[in-house]
Amino acid sequence: MAVDASSGREGTTISQINVTPLVDVMLVLLVIFMVTAPIIQQGVQVNLPQTQSSAIPGTEEHLVITVAKNGNIYLNDNVMSLGELGVKLRAIKKLQADKQVYLRADQDVRYGVVMKTIAEIKQAGIEKLGMVTRPPSEER
């Protein structure tokens, strides 16, 4: 506790909050988050096709299926075969009947691979399927 020497009475305390330690802690946290944020962003690199569309609203966790350029299929960054994808989607469908799935496919992937993936999604009972694209102005 600090003692106020300017008043005539001796031994009185100052009832003000010292914010300097709080500012120091906040600056350290800011630096930590700035350094770790680029590291956290990870995933499968996909060259998405360009289209004119608006962003998808919502705050729930999305179920994203990615078809990479080499033909690998990912379910939220977990690589799996087409058969395993169907099994996982059926299990998810049992838990959440109205779950929406988003498909990210590299623009250089063969059309047949994308169509087989879409067919597997539909056979699993998923009715809501969104296609992920990037705006025309966005760089790769």
Position 2 scores a pLDDT of 55
Given a cut of 50, the residues of the chain with pLDDT beneath it are 1
- How many domains does the structure of the chain reveal? 1
Position 86 scores a pLDDT of 87
pTM: 0.55
Q: In which domain, by residue range, is 101 found? A: 63-131
Separation CA 140–CA 123 (nearest Å): 33
CATH number, residue 122 = 3.30.420.270
Phi, psi values for residue 22, rounded to 5°: -65, -45
21-34, pLDDT tens digit by residue? 889 999 999 998 88
Classify residue 71: in a domain, yes or no: yes
Strands 100-105, 128-131: parallel, antiparallel or unpaired by DSSP? parallel
Position 30 scores a pLDDT of 92
Classify residue 31: in a domain, yes or no: no
